[in-house]
A = this chain, B = another copy of it.
Amino acid sequence: MRATLIYGAGDVRVEDVPDPVLREPTDALVRVLRSCICGSDLWPYGSRPASEQGARIGHEFLGVVEEVGAQVSGLRPGDVVVAPFVWADNTCDFCREGLQTSCRHGGQWGAPGVDGGQGEAVRVPQAQGTLVKLPASVAGEDAALLPSLLALSDVFPTGHHCAVTAGVGPRTTVTVIGDGAVGLSAVLAARRLGAEQIILMGRHKDRTDLGREFGATDVVAERGDEGVERVRELTGGDGTHTVLECVGLEQAIVTAFGVVRDGGTVSRVGAPQYPAVPMGFGEFLRNITLTGGVAPARAYIEDLLPDVLEGRVEPGRVFDRTIGLDQVPDGYRAMADRQAIKVLIRP
């Protein structure tokens, strides 16, 4: 089959690889219907050391079950399924607590010996715990739902995790930092959780326009101190109860502490590109909390699924370009150059 490998910064290739086969009785094989490129794929795309050995990449996909191992129940060939961006048994103590990203028997897509999502097919470890079944109709007459269902793999639960861990609700004001796909998803999640004031910090008009459609009530294009000042003006000088940090750069986390209200919470889902967080005596005196982390998407998919199936939320609107598998290198370039928000792949 064809699959995507990364050989180093700027070097992504689509190549022939061996067809996946069942290895463990807990495995399933899934033929990929839709996959996509993640903002977090851009970190290795930007900085991974060059290697002669490529590594599989991609961790978001949705597809059709082709074969299941002897210990997999509840799934059979022909089922349409979505995979969260970390695989997990969904039965260990961490999974039962909703922290499938720390599963005792789970792991990452693209790890050595594990397929990536940006290919024609995937061997899914811990398939019974990992995969979530979707209505069969989405492979046919309801195919228009596929982008939003694919968003359940990572980007929408990530925005949702950010909002949930921050404690967003009807009585909380919200600042979302970052107008990428995760930031826009965080806006959508905050609105869905009932927030009434959602300030989106971002400077790409096409993105912030979608943010407004998703529920942002204010857009702040300024960055740094000027951006902090603007958010404070919009909140009577106080800042917002919650801040959803969806970037991962140091400047973003510094801004987050600048715009959060005393006693408030900053939640971060942008993978940190910094070693330490500037939370010293000032943040201590203001009782600021920092929470968030890598989103246990699996914990949220069933909760979010009905709203997607019934069209109440359309997280798939973050996909603004669709490509075939062979165009994946172009897709990476388009996202890295900010020409696309998020790129959908039809293998």
Residue positions of A touching B, CB distance < 8 A:
94, 97, 99, 101-102, 165, 262-263, 268, 271-272, 274-281, 283-294, 296
Contacts and interface: CB of A to CB of B under 8 A. Distances in A.
B262 A99 contact: yes
A101 B290 contact: no
A281 B271 contact: yes
Given A272-B280, A274-B280, A280-B274, A289 B291 contact: yes
Nearest to A264: B99
A135 B245 CA distance: 48
A285 B280 contact: no
Contacts of A268: 284
A275 B254 CA distance: 13
B276 A286 contact: no
Nearest to A102: B262
25 contacts: A97-B263, A99-B287, A101-B287, A102-B263, A268-B284, A271-B284, A272-B279, A272-B281, A272-B284, A275-B278, A275-B280, A277-B277, A277-B290, A284-B292, A284-B293, A284-B294, A286-B293, A287-B292, A287-B293, A287-B296, A288-B293, A289-B289, A289-B290, A290-B291, A291-B291
Contacts of A271: 281, 284
Contacts of A285: 101, 293-294
A218 to B, nearest CB: 21
Contacts of A97: 263
A77 B141 CA distance: 80
A284 B271 CA distance: 7
A274 B276 CA distance: 11
A268 B289 CA distance: 10
Contacts of A284: 268, 271-272, 292-294
Contacts of A279: 272, 276-277, 279, 290
A84 to B, nearest CB: 15
